């Protein structure tokens, strides 16, 4: 089993979101676990898994649908992005190693580059250049700087060094399980959210294996601390949540709620209940464990 978690630069059009989900469901043997869309980020995240061949087929069908429909020339959202089909990570689950996930990432990247004539960059374990290991480093200054980047001698890993203003570029990677976890503040104070994010993330001297950004959710009149927990065994959800709460309290700010983007393994909660980390409308469908086939007991 392998999981794929493509991030698409569209989070507002229900018809498009349904069309993309439909592209994934066509292939037998694929389970679509979750679709998370956010209008302020203007981004959707599709979490699905299956055997490698089925996942590869489904991902290429999704790429076809997304690159036909999404036009970055009209896209404005809070989340950083480099392309219409922005990020395509592969995550090995049962019975697969990271080397197999890397091989799959490279096959899919090559296929997208050839079929759509787009620049593709590899990141994570699939990176073929050390400087492109971290996703923020590969994304760089994003879509707005992509044309200059391609002209300036920073060639993609696959595909042409050609700027397509409609589609941008695609980031394809292989990684371990990542937990995307957002905490909403009870006020519209993006400066405070950014300060909290700086205090929480590893690069600012905060929690290990945590990336964080402060963002404004204009449609909700709120600010958010958006986090990627790169290794939930090192920093589980409760540790990240408690640190955000503590940093917010220093500034006289309360926490409204939290949200998961996609699914998370049960172990990421480190024995705490979802409600204790702000997930007020949590359901078992948000647990990765719920979807995976039960293993046969050893004899």
Strand pairing class (85-92; 170-174): parallel
Q: What is d(CA 4, CA 105) in angstroms, rounded to the nearest whole number?
A: 10
Does residue 79 carry a catalytic annotation?
Answer: yes
The pLDDT > 70 percentage for the chain reads 98
Q: By three-state DSSP, how is residue 264 classified?
A: strand
Pair 32, 162 in one domain:
yes
Note down the domain range covering 82.
Answer: 2-174
Instruction: Report helix angle 52-69 to 14-25, nearest 10.
Output: 150
DSSP E strands, the chain: 2-4, 7-8, 30-38, 43-50, 85-92, 120-124, 170-174, 179-185, 210-217, 222-229, 255-261
Structure-derived torsion over alpha carbons of residues 71, 74, 76, 81, reported in degrees to the nearest 10? 30
Q: Of the candidates 117, 127, 169, 113, which has an alpha carbon nearest to the alpha carbon of residue 145? A: 169
Pair 79, 152 in one domain:
yes
Average pLDDT for 145-174: 95
Pair 11, 116 in one domain:
yes
Does residue 216 belong to any structural domain of this protein? Answer: yes
| Domain boundary, last residue among 131, 154, 174 | 174
pLDDT in the model for residue 161: 96
Q: What pTM, to 2 d.p., does this model score?
A: 0.94
Pair 64, 188 in one domain:
no
Q: What is d(CA 52, CA 58) in angstroms, rounded to the nearest whole number?
A: 10
Q: Of the candidates 248, 237, 224, which has an alpha carbon nearest to the alpha carbon of residue 275? A: 237
Average pLDDT for 191-210: 97
Does residue 106 belong to any structural domain of this protein? Answer: yes
DSSP label of 221: T
Q: What is the pLDDT of residues 259-286, one digit of tens each?
A: 999 999 999 999 999 999 999 999 999 9
Pair 107, 55 in one domain:
yes
Residue with tokens 């050609």: 162
Q: By three-state DSSP, how is residue 49 classified?
A: strand
Average pLDDT for 87-98: 95
Q: What is the pLDDT of residues 13-37, one digit of tens each?
A: 999 999 999 999 999 999 999 999 9
Q: What is d(CA 160, CA 135) in angstroms, rounded to the nearest whole number?
A: 20
Q: What is d(CA 226, CA 186) in angstroms, rounded to the nearest whole number?
A: 14
Does residue 89 belong to any structural domain of this protein? Answer: yes
Q: Is the pLDDT reported for residue 73 higher than 60?
A: yes
Pair 52, 18 in one domain:
yes
Q: What is d(CA 204, CA 210) in angstroms, rounded to the nearest whole number?
A: 10
Q: What is d(CA 175, CA 227) in angstroms, rounded to the nearest whole number?
A: 16
pLDDT in the model for residue 294: 57
Q: What is d(CA 147, CA 61) in angstroms, rounded to the nearest whole number?
A: 26
Q: Is the pLDDT reported for residue 154 higher than 90?
A: no
Cα 21 to Cα 36, 41, 87, distances in angstroms: 11, 19, 16
Say how many domains are in the chain.
Answer: 2
Distance from the first to the final alpha carbon of the chain:
22
Q: Is the pLDDT reported for residue 69 higher than 70?
A: yes
pLDDT in the model for residue 176: 97
Does residue 299 belong to any structural domain of this protein? Answer: no
Q: Is the pLDDT reported for residue 295 higher than 70?
A: no
The catalytic residue among 36, 79, 106, 116 is: 79
Helix (H) or strand (E) holding 111: helix 98-116
pLDDT in the model for residue 94: 83
């Amino acid at each position: 089993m392998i999981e794929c978690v493509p991030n698409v630069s569209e989070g507002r059009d229900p018809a498009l979101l349904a069309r993309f989900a439909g592209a994934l469901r066509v292939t037998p043997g694929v389970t679509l676990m979750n679709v998370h869309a956010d209008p302020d980020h203007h981004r959707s995240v599709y979490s699905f898994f299956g055997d490698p061949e089925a996942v590869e087929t489904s991902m290429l069908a999704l790429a076809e649908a997304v690159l036909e429909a999404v036009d970055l020339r009209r896209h404005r959202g809070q989340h950083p992005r480099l392309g219409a089909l922005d990020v395509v990570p592969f995550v090995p689950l049962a019975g697969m190693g990271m080397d197999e996930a890397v091989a799959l990432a490279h096959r899919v990247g090559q296929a997208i580059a050839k079929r759509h004539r787009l620049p593709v960059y590899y990141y994570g374990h699939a990176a073929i250049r050390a400087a492109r290991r971290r996703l923020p480093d590969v994304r760089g200054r994003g879509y707005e700087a992509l044309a200059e980047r391609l002209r300036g001698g920073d060639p993609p890993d696959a595909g042409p060094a050609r700027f397509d203003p409609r589609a941008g570029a695609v980031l394809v990677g292989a990684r371990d399980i990542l937990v995307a976890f957002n905490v909403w503040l009870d006020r519209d104070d993006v400066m405070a959210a950014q300060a909290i994010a700086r205090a929480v993330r590893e690069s600012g001297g905060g929690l290990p294996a945590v990336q964080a950004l402060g963002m404004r959710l204009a449609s909700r009149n709120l600010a958010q601390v958006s986090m990627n927990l790169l290794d939930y065994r090192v920093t589980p959800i409760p540790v990240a949540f408690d640190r955000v709460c503590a940093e917010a309290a220093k500034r006289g700010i309360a926490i409204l709620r939290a949200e998961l983007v996609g699914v998370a393994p049960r172990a990421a909660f480190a024995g705490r209940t979802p409600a204790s980390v702000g997930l007020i409308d949590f359901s078992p469908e948000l647990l990765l464990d719920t979807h995976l086939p039960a293993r046969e007991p050893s004899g």
